[in-house]
Structure 1
Amino acid sequence: MDHIFSITKKPNKTAYRQNIFYKLEKSSLCSISCTNVLAFSTESNIEETNSLFWSSNVYVADLNSPWQVHKILVNSSPVTVLQWDFTGELLLIADESGCVRIYRPKDYILNDWALVLQTTLQGEHILAAAFFHSGKRICLNAEKKDCSSYIEKFQHVKFACSVKQFGGRPASGALLLTTTGMLAAILLPQYASQTPMLVATESLGPTRLLVKTADICYGKNGHFLLAVSNGDPSVPIQCYNVSVKKVEDKCVITSKSLLSFFLDEAPKEAMMDQLTKDKCTVSHIKWIMREDADSLVVTASSSKMSCLQVWELREKALPVHKSLGNSENPQSFNTVLWQYQRHFQYNSQVTSIATSKLSLLNSISSGYIVITFADNTIHCLYRDTLKCICSTTLSVRPRYLGEPNAKYQKVNTKISNIDMSWLGNILLIVDSDDGLHLFKLPPQIESSAPLSVPYCTTILEYCLVSGLDWLDLLLVLRPGMLDALCDRLTESYNRQPASVQQFFYVQYLCIKTSLYRLSFQGQAKANDLTQFLMLHSISTAFKSLLRPSEMNSHEKSPADSLANVIAEGQSDVDKALMHLEAKEFTVETTTLQSLQQLIQWVADLALNLLVKLPDSRPVSGKPYELLRDVKALNMLREMLVLIRIWGLLRPACLPVFTKSDASLDVLALVFRLLSRLVQNVNEPDDALIDECCLLPSQVQIQLLQQINNRTVLASPQLAQQILPLQLEFNNEPECLACSNIESGSGQIVDTIRHLYLGRTPRVVKQCVRCGASAGTVPVTRTAAIRAWDQRWLRSCQCGGLWRMQVYS
C-alpha cells in the first residue's frame, strides 16, 4: 500500500486561534465517483485558514489534479452523507438537520455546480442514502476470462432496476434512512418540464427505532436491503427488505423485516475478553458486496480493542421431528440462516471501513475489505478469509511557517473516513485536519500477486466495455509495463469483430493515448493518436452531412462511393471527382462556411505529416505512427476530395495557404503526395521525399498545437518523484509540471473548433486530463456546428472533464 500523496491546507501563523475547533468531534467524509471525481467534506474553510467560524463544507476535485478543489456547499449543520450515483453526474449531500441536496455539474463543468433539488426531512438526522439502481451490471465471466472476445469475456448479469417508470424505464432517485428509523424515497422528475419531485416517507419497522449505524445494498429483484443497529451489541443486527414503487403520481415504500442475528452468537473464541469488560458498541455495518445481500461485516469496538466479524446467509437443512413427518423417511426443512464465518481482531478502535464498490467477478471471493483504526493504521483484508494482505500507517506531520513548534498546540490528526475507487486500485483518506491522502491498493482479482500486464489489460477492457473511467489504474502502473500493456491491448482489440471494433473505437483510442502519455518516450505517439482521433471525428461529422440523391438508393451511400474511389489509388484529385455523383455531395453553402476552421485543420494536418516524412525514415529514428497508418492517410485523402468538391460550391470555405507561387494548387499537390505515400508507407521512394523537402519553400506550413503545459498526477513526472508527494490545496506542484512547449505563436488554441483564442483569453474551458482548451463564446450556429459542439459538451476528446479557467 504505497502512499501516493498527501494534500493539506496552507500553513497558518495564527493556527493557535483555531485550536477551539480541534476539540470538536470531526465527521469529515469522502467519496469517489465512477468518473474518478473526488467529493469530500471538511469542518473548516480550506481557502481561509484563519477563519474563526465553524462550517461544514463540501468540495469536489478531479483525481488527476486533486489540489484544484471547488467548493459547492457551505452548510451550517455537519454533513453526514456524501453519495454519488452510478453515472457520476449526481452528488447527494445530506446533513444532521434532515436537509437533502442533489447537485449536478452545470453544463458539465467540474467547477460549476447547480442544485437539482432540495428537500428537508424536518427534525431527522440522515444516516445513510443510496441512489436507485439502473439495472445495468457487467461482470467478468470467470469461466471465459482468458477468452479473446469481449462479448464472451464480459457478461451482462441479470439485475432489476430499483424503480420502474412507464415502459419499464429505470427511474432516477434516492432512498434515505434516518436515525429514528424513517425511510424516505425521492423520485427525480424525468424531464425538466415535468412536475416536481416525489417524496414519500415510511417507517423502517412496525414502530420507529433508534439507528446509529446502517448500510444499504441492492437486491437482484430491484429491492433494497438494509442492515441496521442501535449500537448495543446485546441487541440484534436487524435486516430489512425495502421496495420502492411508482404508482401513478405517487411513490410507495414497502418495508419487510428479514432475519436478524446477535453478535454474541459467534463462537466464544471469536469475541475478545476485553470487549466484555469495556464499554463496547457496534460502530460500523457494511455489506461486503453492494449488489448482493449474502454477506455482512460488522465491527464491535471499545476504546482499546476492536473485533470485525463476517456473517453470511447460508441455506441450512433443519431436521423435522418424527411426529410431524414420516418416521421411515426422515425429512428435513430447508431454511436460510445468518451464520458466523470469521473474524479479525486489533488492539485499537475502528474509525472507518470500506469495501469494493464494484465486483468484477460475480462472486463474493473477489475483492477485499479496508479498515482503519484510531492509531492511524490501515489494514487491507481478504474478503473470504479476513487475512491481512498488507497494512501501513498514516503519518501526518503538521507544517508551520518558520515558527518554533513549541508555540503551537500539537494536533493529533486521525483518520476520519475512507473510500475506494470503483476499480479498487486506490484508497482515498480524509483526516480530522481536513487533509486528503491517497494510497495504492493490491489488484482486486489477483490480490496475492503484483500488478501484471494481463490483469491490467483485463481491467482496461472492462473499462472499454462498461464505460468506467480508468484513471485510478494509470496511477498504479509501473513505467516498465506500459509498452507491453499497449501491445497486449492492441492485439486483443484487433481480434474483435469489425462491428465491435467500430463501436468501441473512440474509447479505445482514448485509452491508448492516456497510456502513452505516462512515459516521456510515448509523447510523440500520444500526439499522433490525438490528431488521428480528431481526424476520425471530423471525418464522421463531414460524412454525416452527405445524403443519397435518390431515396430508394440503399445499396451504396455517398460515403461508400467516396471510399471506393479512394481505394482505387487515384492520385489526381480532379480525376477522382469524375467518379462521384455531384448531387450526393451537395451541402448548403452556409453550412460549408461554418466548417471552414475544421477544413483548415485537415489541410494543415496533411501538410504537417508530409513535411515530417523526410525525418521519419528508419535510419533517422523512430517512425511517426500517423505516417505509417494507411487508414489515417486514406481518411485524409477522402477529406481532401470532399474539400475539393465543397470548394466548387463555396470557394470561401477552402483552406487558406500562404504560397510562394500564386498558381500553385496546394490541395492537388498534397493529395498527389499522400496517394504516393499510401502505396508504400514503410519505404517511401526518394523522389517523394525530395518533393516533401520542397514543401516548406512552396507553402507556409502552420504548425499544429502539441500537448499543452499541464500539471497532473498521471504524467511521466510521477514515476520520478519520491513518494508520498507533499501537496497543498489550490497550489500546483512544480515537481509535476510538464516541460512540453506549446506551438510557436504562444497563443491558446481552441482544440475543438480549431480557432485562435489569443494569448490571454478571459475565460476558457480546460480539460483536467490533457490540458486542452476550448472557447466558451458561441460561434456561427448552423446545425452542423451545433452537432459538432454537442459532441464535446460532456468531455474533452481525451475523455477528461472540463473545468472553467478564468485568467486575471
Structure 2
Amino acid sequence: MDHIFSISKKPSKSLNPYKQTIFNKLEKSVLCSVSSTNVIAFCTESNIEECNSLFWSSNVYVADLNTPWQVHKILANSSPVTVLQWDYTGELLLVGDESGSAKIYKTKDYLWNEWSLVLQTNLQGEHILAAAFFHSGKRICLNLEKKENTSYIEKFQHVKFACSVKQFGGRPASGALLLTTTGMLAAVLLPQPTCQVPMIMTTESLGPSRIFVKTADICYGKNGHFLLAVSSGDPSMPIQCYKVSVKKEDAKCIIKSQSLLSFFLVEAPKEASMDQVVKEKNCTVSHIKWIMREDADSLVVTASSKKMSCLQVWELREKALPVHKAFASDTPQFFNTVLWQYQCHFQYNSQVTSLATNKLSLLNTLSSGYVVVTFADNSIHCLFRDTLKPIVYTTLSTMPRYVDEPNAKYQKISTTISSIDMSWLGNVLVCVDSDDSLHLFKLPPQMDSTSPLSVPYCTTILEYSLISGFDWLDLLLVLRPNMLDPICDRFTESFNRQPPAVQQFYYFQFLCIKTSLHRLGFQGQQRANDLTHFMMLHSISTAFKSLLRPSEMNSHEKSPADSLANVISEGQCDVDKALMHLEAKEFTVETATLQSLQQLIQWVADLALELLARLPDAPRAPSGAGASATTASKTYDLLRDVKALNMLREMLVLIRIWGLLRPACLPVFIKSDASLDVLPLIFRLLSRLVQNVSEPDDALIDECCLLPSQVQIQFLQPATNRVVLGSPQLFQQILPLQCLHEWTNSWII
C-alpha cells in the first residue's frame, strides 16, 4: 500500500494557534466518495479557500483524481453533511444532511467546476443516514470459465440484474432511496428531461414501527429490490435486515418493506472475544457494510470502543434442520432454511474510524475483493473479505509538511483518518483526515491479492473499462514504467482479434485508453500526440460525413460517404480528377453551415501540412510493416497509419468540393507564390505517401523538403503539456507527493 500523495489545505498564519487547536479538536463530519469517473467528492467543516476563517459551515468539494490539488466547492451547507453518494454513471452527486435536506447535483456541460442543482427535497425533522441511487439494471462481470477467451462477448458477461424502478416500457427510472435515523424510508424519482412530470416522492416506515438507527448500509438485490442492514449502535441488540422494493404506478411511488432474518454479534464463537469488547466503556456498533454492492449475502460489522475493536463477517447460508420427532416419520427428515452464520473476525487494539468494501465484484464471487479498515492510531489494514486475514498494512504519517516553509514554523496537530473510499476498479484508496487533507494509497490487485500487479491482470482491467465505460485512471497510477509497453501491446492485440462490429463500436474508447498508456511513458509523448490528433481527425471526419445526404434515397445503394471511400481507395493522385467520379448533389451543404466549419477545415489542412513536413526527418518503419501499419502498431506513428492518411485525403476532397460552393470556408495559407494551389499539392503528396508508407521514394521526400519554403506551416500544439498526476514524472518522484489545495506543481507535466 504505497502512499502516492497527500494534499493539505493552506496553513493559517494569522489565526491564533490556541483557537485553531480548539477548532481542530472538535468532532467533525468528514466524508469522501469516489465516482466511477474518478472524481473525488469530500466534505469538511472548514473553508479550504479561506484558511484564515473559522466560521463554521459544512462544505462539499470535488476534485479530479488526476489533478487533486485543484478543488471546487459545490455547496456550503448550514447543517452537517451526513451522506455523499454518486450514481452509477458518475454524473449525479447526492448530498444529504442532518436536517433532512437531500440535494442532487449534476455537472454543467461536463465541466467538473460547474455544477447545477437538479433536485432538492426536505424531510422535515429527519436525519438522513444512508442513501442509494436506483440501479440501472446494467451489470458486467468477468466470466471466470472463459477468462482466457479472446472474444470480449465471451469473456465478459452481462449478468441478469433487474433495475430498481421500472418506467413505461421497462425503462429504468432515475432516483434515490433515503434512510433516516428514525427508520423512515423516502423514495425520490427525478423528473424526466423530456416531459413536464414533476419530482415524485413518497415515504414509508422501514419496519412495523419506527426504530432508532445509528448506522446502516444499502445494497442492490438482483430482482430489483434493495437490501438494508441497520443497527441501533448497541452491540447487545440485533443487526436487522430488510428487503425494500420501490414501484412506480402512474404518478406515484409505492414502497414496500419486508423484515428479514436478523442476528446478534454476541452469538459469535468465543474466539471472537465479543464479551470482552462489549464490556468496554462506550462500545458501539460503529460501521456496517455489505460485502458486495450488488447481490450481497454477507455483512461486515464493527463493534468498537476507544481501546478495542472487533470486525465480524456474517453470511446468509442455507442450512438443513431436522424435523422434530413428533412430526417426523420413522426415517429422519430435514428441511432447508436460510440462516445468518458467523464466518470470521478481526481484532485490533484501537477504535475503528472508517470502513470500505469494493464497489464492484469483477468475478461475481465472494472470493475476490477485500475490506479496508482504518483505526484511530492511523493504521490502515487491507483484509481478505471472506476470511478477514490481513493482506497488507500501513500507517498514515500525521506530520504535515508544507511546501513553502519549514515544518518548525507550524504546530504539529494530531490528526486521524476520518473517512475512506475505494475507486470503482479497486486500485486505489482515498482517505480524508480530520485536518481536511486528502491522501491516496495503492491497493493490491482485486482478483489476485497475493501476487503483484501483472500485465495480464492490467490488460483485463483495461478491457473491462473498455466494455463497461468505467474510468481507468486509478489503474494508471499504480502501474510500473516497465509494464507500459507490454500492456499496450497485449491490449492492442486483444482488440484487433475482435469482430469488426465490436471494434467499430469500441474504437474511440480504445484509442483513448491507448493514448493514456503512451502518455505515461517518457518515450511515448510523440505517440500520444499522434493518437490525440488521430482521434480529433476521426471526430471531424464523422462530423463532416454526417452532413452528407443522398440526393435520392431510393435510387442509391451506397451512401455519399461510401462513394467517397471508394474513390479514395482507387489511388487517384489528382484531387480534381477525383471529383469527377462523385455526384455533386450528394455533397452539397448549405453555405451557412460550411462557414461554421472553417476552423475545423483549417485544422485538417494544418495537420496535413505538418505530417508532410515531418516526413523527411521521420524514422523509417521496420521491414514488413508496410501499408498494413495501423493504430495497432506498438510504436504508433501517424505518418505510417494508412487509415489516418486516407481519412485526411477524404477530408481534402470534401474541402475541395465545399470550397467551390463557399470559397470563404477554405483554409488560409501563407504562400511564397500566390499562384500556388496548396490543396491539390497536399492531396498529391499524401496520395504518393499512402502507396508506400514504410519507405517513401526519394522524390516524395525531396518535395516534402521544399514544402516549408512554399507555404508557411502552422505546427499544432502538443496535447500532452498538462499539469496532471498521471505523467512520466510520477515514476521519478519520492512518494508520497505533498502539496497544497489550489496549488500547481511544476514537477508533474
Q: Retained in 1: the 8 A contact 2:292–2:358?
A: yes
Q: Retained in 1: the 8 A contact 2:401–2:407?
A: no
After superposition, residues 198-237 of structure 1 pair within 5 angstroms as 198-237=200-239
Structure 2: gaps (5+ residues):
623-633
**Distance of aligned partners of 1:572 and 1:606 in 2 relative to their CA distance in 1, 3 Å threshold:** same
Which deviates more, 427-436 or 397-406? 397-406
- State the 1:406 CA deviation: 9.4
After superposition, residues 279-294 of structure 1 pair within 5 angstroms as 279=281, 280-294=283-297
Deviations 1:253-280 (A, max 9, x none): 1111000011111111122553143132
Among candidates 177, 196, 199, match of residue 197 of structure 1 = 199
- TM-score, normalised by the number of residues in structure 1: 0.89
The aligned amino acid for 2:699 is: A
**Distance of aligned partners of 1:603 and 1:96 in 2 relative to their CA distance in 1, 3 Å threshold:** same
2:322 equivalent to 1:315 = no
In 1, distance between residues paired with 2:343 and 2:221? Answer: 22
The aligned amino acid for 1:55 is: S
- State the 1:549 CA deviation: 2.2
> What corresponds to 1:750 in structure 2?
none
Among candidates 161, 164, 185, match of residue 163 of structure 2 = 161
In 2, distance between residues paired with 1:102 and 1:617? Answer: 53
Among candidates 117, 140, 143, match of residue 141 of structure 1 = 143
Q: Retained in 2: the 8 A contact 1:547–1:584?
A: yes
In 1, distance between residues paired with 2:547 and 2:407? Answer: 70
Which deviates more, 380-389 or 652-661? 652-661
> What corresponds to 1:306 in structure 2?
309
Q: Retained in 1: the 8 A contact 2:610–2:715?
A: yes
In 1, distance between residues paired with 2:687 and 2:34? Answer: 49
- State the 1:402 CA deviation: 6.3
> What corresponds to 1:720 in structure 2?
732
Q: Retained in 1: the 8 A contact 2:511–2:531?
A: yes
- State the 1:252 CA deviation: 1.1
After superposition, residues 188-587 of structure 1 pair within 5 angstroms as 188-191=190-193, 194-272=196-274, 274-279=276-281, 280-328=283-331, 330-398=332-400, 408=411, 410-587=412-589
- State the 1:16 CA deviation: 3.0
Q: Retained in 2: the 8 A contact 1:30–1:419?
A: yes
Q: Retained in 1: the 8 A contact 2:266–2:274?
A: no
Q: Retained in 1: the 8 A contact 2:4–2:735?
A: yes
In 2, distance between residues paired with 1:26 and 1:304? Answer: 21
In 1, distance between residues paired with 2:275 and 2:306? Answer: 13
Q: Retained in 2: the 8 A contact 1:616–1:624?
A: no
2:696 equivalent to 1:696 = no
The aligned amino acid for 1:719 is: F
In 2, distance between residues paired with 1:268 and 1:536? Answer: 65
The aligned amino acid for 2:303 is: A
Deviations 1:480-513 (A, max 9, x none): 1111111111101110111111111111111111
Which deviates more, 5-14 or 430-439? 5-14
Q: Retained in 2: the 8 A contact 1:17–1:50?
A: no
> What corresponds to 2:628 in structure 1?
none
In 2, distance between residues paired with 1:115 and 1:550? Answer: 47
> What corresponds to 2:599 in structure 1?
597
- State the 1:20 CA deviation: 2.5
Q: Retained in 1: the 8 A contact 2:246–2:253?
A: yes
In 2, distance between residues paired with 1:358 and 1:126? Answer: 25
In 1, distance between residues paired with 2:157 and 2:329? Answer: 45
Q: Retained in 1: the 8 A contact 2:39–2:64?
A: yes
**Distance of aligned partners of 1:615 and 1:251 in 2 relative to their CA distance in 1, 3 Å threshold:** same
**Distance of aligned partners of 1:352 and 1:592 in 2 relative to their CA distance in 1, 3 Å threshold:** same
Structure 1: gaps (5+ residues):
739-808
The aligned amino acid for 1:9 is: K
In 2, distance between residues paired with 1:494 and 1:575? Answer: 35
In 1, distance between residues paired with 2:173 and 2:651? Answer: 43
**Which stretches of structure 1, 4 residues or more, deviate above 4 A after TM superposition?**
399-408
Q: Retained in 2: the 8 A contact 1:377–1:392?
A: yes
In 1, distance between residues paired with 2:548 and 2:621? Answer: 43
- State the 1:618 CA deviation: 2.9
The aligned amino acid for 1:238 is: Q
The aligned amino acid for 1:104 is: K
Q: Retained in 2: the 8 A contact 1:11–1:399?
A: no
In 1, distance between residues paired with 2:351 and 2:744? Answer: 36
2:671 equivalent to 1:671 = no
- State the 1:453 CA deviation: 0.9
- State the 1:192 CA deviation: 6.5
Q: Retained in 2: the 8 A contact 1:379–1:391?
A: yes
In 2, distance between residues paired with 1:402 and 1:550? Answer: 73
Q: Retained in 1: the 8 A contact 2:419–2:432?
A: yes
The aligned amino acid for 2:739 is: L
Q: Retained in 1: the 8 A contact 2:621–2:694?
A: no
> What corresponds to 2:8 in structure 1?
8
**Distance of aligned partners of 1:668 and 1:722 in 2 relative to their CA distance in 1, 3 Å threshold:** same
In 1, distance between residues paired with 2:246 and 2:275? Answer: 43
- State the 1:389 CA deviation: 0.7
In 1, distance between residues paired with 2:522 and 2:77? Answer: 44
2:722 equivalent to 1:710 = yes
Q: Retained in 2: the 8 A contact 1:617–1:623?
A: no
CA RMSD of aligned residues (A): 1.8
- State the 1:431 CA deviation: 0.4
Q: Retained in 1: the 8 A contact 2:356–2:421?
A: yes
- TM-score, normalised by the number of residues in structure 2: 0.96
Q: Retained in 1: the 8 A contact 2:611–2:639?
A: yes
Aligned partner of residue 282 in structure 1, secondary structure: strand
The aligned amino acid for 1:319 is: P
In 1, distance between residues paired with 2:723 and 2:549? Answer: 45
Identity of aligned residues (%): 79
In 2, distance between residues paired with 1:304 and 1:490? Answer: 53
Which deviates more, 216-225 or 656-665? 656-665
In 1, distance between residues paired with 2:45 and 2:676? Answer: 68
Deviations 1:684-713 (A, max 9, x none): 111111111111111111111112532110
Aligned partner of residue 640 in structure 1, secondary structure: helix
- State the 1:353 CA deviation: 0.4
